[in-house]
Structure 1
Amino acid sequence: MATTVPQNSKLYNEDIAPRSEAGHWKAWDLFAWWMSAWHSLGGYAMAVGLIVLGISGWQMAVGLIVGLVIIYLFSNLMGAAGQKVGVPFPVFARISFGVYGANIPAILRAIVAVAWYGIQTYLASAAVMLLIVKVFPSAKGMTTASFLGLSGLGWLCFLVLWAAQLAVLWRGMEAVRKLSDFAGTTIWVAMIALAVWVLNRAHWSLNWNYREAVSNAPGGTFVALLGAIFITTAYMGGPMLNFADFTRLAPNARDVRRGNQLGLLLNGVAFGVVSVVIALASVKVYGKAVTDPLQMLADMDSVAMLLVAIISVAIATVGINIILNFVSPAYDFANAAPKYISFRTGGVITAVLALLVMPWKLYSNPIAVNYFIGGVGATMGPLLGITLVDYYLVRRGVVDVAALYSDDPNGPYFYRKGFNRKAIVSLVIAGVAALAAAYVPALSVLAHFSWPIGVLLGGVSYYLLNGAERAALAPRPAPAVVASGESVAS
């Protein structure tokens, strides 16, 4: 991408600069990216957790599959846009929110990512600690004493993984790509081992009609099934939003679509179905669906199988953590002050904040997770709707990349003092509606639909508020050519 940008601008540094050469993230890398994104303890827990909606096993599978198709469609839109423009998400957000206003969606995304980065690191360290105690029973003594809510062995495992992830990010996006290629496939080892183990204990039989309860929500099973679909899409609400952080490094849009096909329509569906199979088999073994795979791993009597499974889980969790919860805030913080914060510095800020929030306490407090992280997460839908409508329907894919780095008050993305008020108003309208749907008791029937409500209201309100801009940017009809060779307005 040969784009001349104002490198002396305070909005520029080399880490958030436009792609300068052909990208290295090809279809296989994006396929592995999606494997890393889905293959985690959180992905399994989300899939199995759908059973509380009062739907059966086969309906869980249907909800997951339809949700994945929706994610695929939105990821194609966001991914192709990111690949064409060639800039990371915070810079891409300058198109719709303004060169300074882009920090609003960037910081909102960073808050969610930092919290989940800490939680995922803690979950991976818990898996490693489980393995250490299983292999070395004498280490159990290190799990009793507590400092700030974490045992000595817990601190050791957490800090080792915390430092290892920072070391990968410090080496740059190429190291992230290589880790994703490796980590994405390893969880299949653990999932297959777990599936074989629990199916064997369940005598290789499943009840696809099993359900924990009958849905008593208005609309019954149909609404519950829709809820399963949109819980699945909301789970990937953040990654869909900042997908440009990765697809900007792809050589062409075809690789983006191909990677999405393999990673979502093939691998994602397979992972979802295997998760449901494990859950249904666990019903026969434990009497109810087990939502925490660590509980089943702890019951394995084969140390060799446990060793392979937990190492795979730990590697996969580190992989998902870096690509979903580490790269994004590193760019987001760098965007806030490009002249002072590099991608590496943004990564250090992310890691330190993830440590300071004490994620083991955060994870053990459902109220904090649901209301704080979930509340900020409810803004991911509106942000996605606004950015996609702006790019595809308002600007028709036409972007002045160099102007994204310009602090000239007359620049096309400076708007008013660097902020596009129309985007901010749309975010407030859609964000309030999404939060109300998620948390107001009187609207509880809409709780599982906050993500699509946010996407729809964010996109529609922004589209309507930009009527004049759409007219100004609309393609003009070609002039008619008269016989003399002169042209006249048609």
Structure 2
Amino acid sequence: MEKKNEEQIYVQDGDREAGVVLDVPPASFWGRLLQKIELKSNVENGRRSNPDLDPVPPEGRHWTARHYALFWISDNVSVSGFRTASSIMDVGLSWRMALLCVALANLLAGMIVTLNGLVGADYHIPFSIQARASYGYYLSYLMILMRCIVGIFWYGIQTYTGAECVQSMLYALWPSFRNVPNTLPKSANITTQFMTAYVIYFVTMLPFHYVGIHKVKWLFLLKTVATFIVGFGLMGWMISSVGVSNTALFSQGNTVHGSAFRWVFLNSFYSNLGGFTTLMVNAPDYSRYAARRRSTYTTLFAVPFTATLVTFMGVVVAAGSKVKYGQILWDPLQVVDQWTSPGGRAAAFFCALSFYFSQLGLNIAANSLASANDMNAIWPKYINLRRGQFIAAFIGAWVLTPWNILTSAPAFLNFMSGYSIWLSPLCGILVCDYFIVHRQKYDVNELYRFGGIYNYKWGCNWRAFLAFTIAWVPLLPGFIPTVSSGITASSGLTHLYDLGFFYAFGTSILSYAVICYFFPAKETYVETAVYPDDVKSSDDIGDISSEGYADKRSSE
């Protein structure tokens, strides 16, 4: 055998032998050092995966159309769903326009969630693995981290809302709880009473993070049934008590007109879409469990229908509360808190309990599981779905102290509502890469392999980075004034920000498609898609020896 002028290093990775050839002359110290660093990184993490990150095997794909319908219905049937119309009507739209705005926004959201979720249904991979195909191995980490941080922040905020449900239950069970003295200083931004409810909610929520994703789907069934019963019950009770057809809320028309009306409508439309961008991005995290591709199609109908229905319930209850209590109560928990008779307290407890489960399911679906999937991808050797959920829970609920955020940082809430200027182009590039650039043809084996065809140069796909930048940078001048009262923007920049989702999502798709057309990454194109079922076992996915290094070693 002819001796080659190169050094060969072979390493043992578990029970799999992997030989990696260093094509660097021994005299090149820096070249040898860089190669050894890469080799160590490669072997240390193996396939950079774990069972929770691997493609879902056939025996784990048992989510049907019914389960996906319940999953997305449960996301809308919540306390925040009842409150949706309030912010829209506060800026000058009538209740009819508020319902139309919600319906259109959720119809578009359902379409994008379904579209981006198809890669999960086809390849049974999570968002974090999908992102490697379009962004590259290392750039995908930035996108994953961005999504993870947003999820953890929202986890804390939704935990606060869950504590409000517990507080209403305590009011019903123990009326004197309303008079519990506050022993915390005013600077704490939380009372002893609410901290008690907060701790109870957090402790009772923790066991649900230990339950596997396959069993969580039954929580969504319970949540959907219970909250729908309560929602219709509240609406029926309010109608029978006071009648709402002639209330001021229902007779209120639009208070803005002309061009102002159009921009207010678009801004409200954008705000409703903004809350869904996290779910658009990580749709594959749930669609990967689909028994069949078409099982995910129920999302198209479940999302807009339930969002509009729950919003209408909120409008009816709020209209009646003005007549019955002398003030508009958009929060259903504030309504049940008014029930002080013994029978009323029993009803209030069960209503608050249903909303408790509603908030619990929402926080798990939209935040803890999504954040856990993201952390799982970044540190697969140390974090799985269970550990990731517990980490997200403690950081979101306690480290970030959401009571301080909600009490003293309104600018931060505006920031959280505007984060879609980053997540919408992130999602747009994912959709474009799968359907337009790669034409639904990925090699799942290469997605898990460090240094594979989806690594691009230096682990970064500059095409995706450029398209991402083009999509969000022009929106920044309109976004900054929303978080800083001392800065103003021209009306043109403000209006562009009002169109933020459409601009960012559409521009990212168009620019990425054009860039890839003129500068294609041909090494990532495959003639035939390679699905998980085409690979013998999960141990073969991303195996370092898939490039033939082991065979090369034996031949030499």
Work out whether the TM-score is over 0.5.
Answer: yes
Partner residue in 1 for 2:50: 13
Q: Given the two structures, how large is their TM-score scaled by the length of structure 2?
A: 0.78
Residues 312-321 or 92-101, more deviating: 92-101
* Residue identity in the other structure for 1:314: Y
- Deviations 1:6-54 (Å, cap 9, x if unpaired)? 9962521111101111512111111111122111222222333211231
Partner residue in 1 for 2:117: 79
User: Cα–Cα, structure 1 residues 136 and 171, in superposed 2: closer, same or farther, change >3 Å?
Assistant: same
Q: 1:168 Cα deviation (Å)?
A: 1.4
User: Cα–Cα, structure 1 residues 133 and 37, in superposed 2: closer, same or farther, change >3 Å?
Assistant: same
Contact 2:52/2:384, CA 8 A, preserved across alignment: yes
- Deviations 1:88-145 (Å, cap 9, x if unpaired)? 1111111111122212221111111111111111111122112213331233343522
Partner residue in 2 for 1:356: 399
Contact 1:169/1:175, CA 8 A, preserved across alignment: no
Q: Distance in 2 between matches of 1:210 and 1:433?
A: 40
Q: Distance in 2 between matches of 1:374 and 1:231?
A: 7
Pick the aligned partner of 1:449 from 499, 518, 527. 499
Structure 1 residue 189 corresponds to structure 2 residue 239: no
Pick the aligned partner of 1:428 from 469, 484, 487. 469
Contact 2:110/2:301, CA 8 A, preserved across alignment: no
Partner residue in 2 for 1:277: 316
Pick the aligned partner of 2:412 from 351, 369, 377. 369
Partner residue in 1 for 2:380: 338
User: Cα–Cα, structure 1 residues 281 and 458, in superposed 2: closer, same or farther, change >3 Å?
Assistant: farther
Q: Distance in 1 between matches of 2:148 and 2:167?
A: 28
Partner residue in 2 for 1:88: 126
User: Cα–Cα, structure 1 residues 331 and 287, in superposed 2: closer, same or farther, change >3 Å?
Assistant: same
Name the count of aligned residue pairs: 468
User: Cα–Cα, structure 1 residues 206 and 308, in superposed 2: closer, same or farther, change >3 Å?
Assistant: farther
Pick the aligned partner of 1:461 from 490, 511, 514. 511
* Residue identity in the other structure for 2:231: M
Contact 1:334/1:343, CA 8 A, preserved across alignment: yes
Contact 1:57/1:211, CA 8 A, preserved across alignment: yes
Contact 1:438/1:448, CA 8 A, preserved across alignment: no
Structure 1 residue runs without a partner (length 5+): 1-5, 477-490
Structure 1 residue 162 corresponds to structure 2 residue 199: no
Contact 1:88/1:248, CA 8 A, preserved across alignment: yes
- Deviations 1:425-465 (Å, cap 9, x if unpaired)? 22222222333333443233344322222211222222222
Contact 2:118/2:287, CA 8 A, preserved across alignment: yes
Q: 1:289 Cα deviation (Å)?
A: 4.4
Give the alignment of 1:203-218 within 5 angstroms: 203-206=243-246, 210-211=251-252, 214-215=255-256
User: Cα–Cα, structure 1 residues 163 and 378, in superposed 2: closer, same or farther, change >3 Å?
Assistant: farther
Contact 2:271/2:417, CA 8 A, preserved across alignment: no
User: Cα–Cα, structure 1 residues 280 and 231, in superposed 2: closer, same or farther, change >3 Å?
Assistant: farther
Q: Distance in 1 between matches of 2:81 and 2:50?
A: 35
Q: Given the two structures, how large is their TM-score scaled by the length of structure 1?
A: 0.88
- Deviations 1:404-424 (Å, cap 9, x if unpaired)? 11112xx22101222222222
SS at match of 2:463: helix
Q: 1:377 Cα deviation (Å)?
A: 3.9
Residues 362-371 or 174-183, more deviating: 362-371
SS at match of 1:163: helix
Give the alignment of 1:107-186 within 5 angstroms: 107-142=145-180, 144-146=182-184, 148-186=188-226
SS at match of 1:463: helix
Q: 1:219 Cα deviation (Å)?
A: 1.2
Q: Distance in 2 between matches of 1:31 and 1:163?
A: 29
Structure 1 residue 226 corresponds to structure 2 residue 266: yes
Q: 1:316 Cα deviation (Å)?
A: 0.4
Q: Distance in 1 between matches of 2:327 and 2:263?
A: 23
SS at match of 2:58: coil
- Deviations 1:202-226 (Å, cap 9, x if unpaired)? 324245764476226x713333333
Contact 2:117/2:287, CA 8 A, preserved across alignment: yes
SS at match of 1:225: helix
Partner residue in 2 for 1:236: 276
Q: Distance in 2 between matches of 1:111 and 1:475?
A: 33
SS at match of 1:114: helix
Structure 1 residue 33 corresponds to structure 2 residue 80: no
* Residue identity in the other structure for 2:399: L
Identity of aligned residues (%): 23
Q: Distance in 1 between matches of 2:225 and 2:111?
A: 23
User: Cα–Cα, structure 1 residues 451 and 253, in superposed 2: closer, same or farther, change >3 Å?
Assistant: same
Q: 1:371 Cα deviation (Å)?
A: 4.2
The runs of at least 4 consecutive aligned structure 1 residues that moved more than 6 Å come to 473-476
User: Cα–Cα, structure 1 residues 461 and 261, in superposed 2: closer, same or farther, change >3 Å?
Assistant: closer
Pick the aligned partner of 2:367 from 316, 325, 335. 325
Contact 2:120/2:285, CA 8 A, preserved across alignment: yes
Q: 1:232 Cα deviation (Å)?
A: 2.2
User: Cα–Cα, structure 1 residues 378 and 456, in superposed 2: closer, same or farther, change >3 Å?
Assistant: same
Contact 1:57/1:276, CA 8 A, preserved across alignment: yes
* Residue identity in the other structure for 1:263: A
SS at match of 2:453: coil
Structure 1 residue 438 corresponds to structure 2 residue 479: yes
Residues 47-56 or 143-152, more deviating: 143-152
Q: Distance in 2 between matches of 1:9 and 1:468?
A: 35
User: Cα–Cα, structure 1 residues 83 and 365, in superposed 2: closer, same or farther, change >3 Å?
Assistant: farther
Q: 1:176 Cα deviation (Å)?
A: 1.9
Contact 1:439/1:447, CA 8 A, preserved across alignment: no
Q: Distance in 2 between matches of 1:120 and 1:143?
A: 25
Partner residue in 1 for 2:144: 106
Structure 2 residue runs without a partner (length 5+): 1-41, 482-488, 528-556
Contact 2:244/2:319, CA 8 A, preserved across alignment: no
Contact 1:438/1:450, CA 8 A, preserved across alignment: no
Partner residue in 2 for 1:486: none
Q: 1:470 Cα deviation (Å)?
A: 5.2
CA RMSD of aligned residues (A): 2.6
Q: 1:59 Cα deviation (Å)?
A: 1.2
Q: Distance in 2 between matches of 1:170 and 1:308?
A: 25
User: Cα–Cα, structure 1 residues 232 and 307, in superposed 2: closer, same or farther, change >3 Å?
Assistant: same
Q: Distance in 1 between matches of 2:354 and 2:241?
A: 22
Pick the aligned partner of 1:414 from 455, 461, 474. 455
Q: Distance in 2 between matches of 1:244 and 1:38?
A: 19
Q: 1:262 Cα deviation (Å)?
A: 4.5
The structure with more radius of gyration? 2
